[in-house]
Chains A and B, each alone.
Chain A
Amino acid sequence: MLEQLYNALFVGSVYALFALGFALVFSVLDILNLAHPTTFMLGAFAAYFAMTAVGLPWYVAGVLAFFVCGAFGIALDRIAFAPLRRRSAPGLSAMISSLAVTLIVVRLIELRYGGDFITFPAGAVPSLVLRIGDAVLEGIRLGIVVLSIVLMLGLTYVVRRTQLGRDLRALAENPRAARILGVDVDRAISATFFVSSALGGLAGVLLAFAYNTLDSRMGLPLELRAFTVMVVGGMGSLPGAVIGAYILGLGEVASLVYLPTELRDAFAFGLLFLVLIVRPTGLLGHRAADRV
């Protein structure tokens, strides 16, 4: 039972790590960035390239992927979202635009690395395994659990207590008013995309390390779950997204243990549905003006 609890904690952490960046852009800019799974994948491939082609150690490759994905996020905004924003295009246009970026980047990666999954060279990824009785604990998995909690707390601190956070909250409430009040809106938007994409990329690197595998579509299965935990946690709440992620992870593993496996998804998503019936704004949801 303890093993499955640990498994659930890890699955929840994976969802949380992915959902944080996704939720940040949605909270501040009202954009459902469908290129987030691509950024996630790009992080893993950036680290892979740094380790195999340049020969960098895993920790340097991880840091490099963080910044590469952050820069990709800014470029993504300039190419896919900013032109639409300037023309006051509807939100659906931004979704389509980000989908186009996804198709192009995924295809480019497939042209370079193929569509099948690839693995890191033997011994290139850190491996620390602890055995406690029958249970197996891996260093990288424990790291992901800790990091998702630290990032949630860190990001919440930045948003609540720093000047950048105040700018973001002003932006989330009313971009025009924020600009009139002296907020550097363009800088705040760039910062949002940088942080969101860098976190997405870091999540991709960590997951690729944990599974020692990466492929061009590795982020896609997480997209629906990230959207789900965002809704359940409360649209616009970063701690809510993380809590929603752990509830979903626990629900999925609990249903695997206690129910026929065919009912697993129905149970997990049914649980989330119940949460929404009781609290339509999600667990930690606020009205629009209090978002982020």
Chain B
Amino acid sequence: MARLKTAFASTFICALLVAACGGTTTPPTGTGVAATSGAPKADIKIGLATSKSGAANFYNPQQSNGALLAVEQINNAGGINGAKLQLIIEDDGSARDQGITAFRKFIEQDKVAAILGPTLSAVAAGAHPVAQQSGVPVIAISNTGLGIVGKCDYGPCDWIFRASLGEQTAVPETVKAATSKLGLKKVVIIYGDGKFELDDLTIFKDAFKANGVTVAKEIAYTAKDVDFAPFVTQAKAEGPDAIVASSLAGPAGKILDEVAKQMPGKRVIGGNGLNSAALLSNANAGLMIVGTAWSRASTDKANTDFISAYKAKFNTEPDQFAAQSHTAMLVLADALKRSGNPTDKAAVKKALEATKDLPTPLGAFSFTADHDVKQPTFVMTAKDGQFTPFQ
């Protein structure tokens, strides 16, 4: 009996741990997204690797929901030339190894036609080469760092596409708008030690140089820093016209608070890391200036339709990450239809490359020759808990 109790307890604890750590998920069952019975053709499987656990888990459920909504709409409209889409979602755990495992499962076990994700650029650096080696098309839905498409550190990356506005495009637009409207002459950059933040540092420095603005000081912090008062005090000593936060949303919130206290009237310019719904509840969010890929205020029909459908299905407002995953699925479905044979990955890749001005919530969508997204940048600030255009 005692052994039985021990075995039961062990099983229960294991189950709890698996649940706590965000085990793999197979949402198609029971989600109503794919209809397998009676379908004239076999389902077309699409993999979505996204951070449902780990440090970047706050991008969900929006990232999953955006793609799920698109799949539902596409299937309800007749699918891909009669075949239904089936979305398989796996947790990348915000970790490189788990992202690689998810990609391997999609390719070797699920035999997917294409993959979306993973969430973080650092995870993509590990997972994308797996798809590249296997010749499976990938659309990055939230990787904004350097080396995701075009010239990649791991060699050729011609099977990789990106539907998320890269910092190389968004940051120069943001800097240009901020410089012209605020008359910037001198800034200080406070930056983190992650890949995303370091990439942003490089891009910001180049953008300020191109706009004739002096970067008086670069101040590094680490992921383990909890208090940002010393960094802002140090920045203040340089007498800058604005502070640049090359950071994720958490540290950015603390930097915004410190700038409001120590440097009243100064603005905080940031990259995509500041583009977070959680930051909008910060009392000083109105100080930030950030370039984004999506504007809720856009009256483009594809965008207003998306917002209405998302709110109706999930009873909450979408954010940029939902809009980007939704767009990536629309772009992929469009390419699958045009490819003539969705099981022919080379044909799908060719069709993706030919994507031209597709109406999406992000605006008219095309890929560049480097497989990067070609779309407008929205330079935004925050007001009344919403992102609003920076004017």
Contacts and interface: CB of A to CB of B under 8 A. Distances in A.
Interface of A: 3-4, 7-8, 10-11, 14, 100, 103-104, 106-108, 110, 114-119, 122, 129, 134, 136, 138, 207, 211-213, 215, 217, 221-222, 224-225, 252-253, 256-257, 261-262, 264-265
Contact of B233 (A7, A104, A265): A7
B226 A116 contact: no
A267 to B, nearest CB: 13
Contacts of B20: 103-104, 106-108
Nearest to A6: B229
A215 B250 contact: yes
B15 to A, nearest CB: 11
Given A104-B20, A107-B22, A265-B222, A7 B230 contact: yes
Interface of B: 13, 16-17, 19-22, 53-58, 218-227, 229-231, 233-234, 236, 249-250, 253-254, 257, 261-262, 276-278, 281-283
A115 B57 contact: yes
A261 B218 contact: yes
B227 A11 contact: yes
A118 B122 CA distance: 25
A107 B53 contact: yes
A116 B218 contact: no
A117 B230 contact: no
Contacts of A264: 220, 222
A118 B56 CA distance: 14
B226 A117 contact: no
B253 A14 contact: no
A4 B258 CA distance: 13
Nearest to A223: B224
Given A107-B21, A119-B282, A212-B257, A256 B276 contact: no
A116 B17 contact: no
6 contacts: A107-B20, A108-B20, A119-B253, A134-B236, A207-B226, A256-B234
A156 to B, nearest CB: 25
Most buried by B among A104, A122, A261: A261
Contacts of B231: 256
Contacts of A116: 58, 249, 276-278
Given A221-B224, A224-B224, A264-B220, 18 more contacts: A3-B233, A7-B227, A7-B233, A10-B227, A100-B17, A103-B20, A103-B21, A107-B19, A114-B58, A115-B53, A115-B56, A117-B249, A117-B250, A136-B261, A211-B257, A213-B282, A222-B226, A265-B222
Given A215-B250, A217-B55, A261 B220 contact: yes
Nearest to A110: B57
A136 B260 CA distance: 11
A113 to B, nearest CB: 10
A4 B57 contact: no
B321 to A, nearest CB: 11
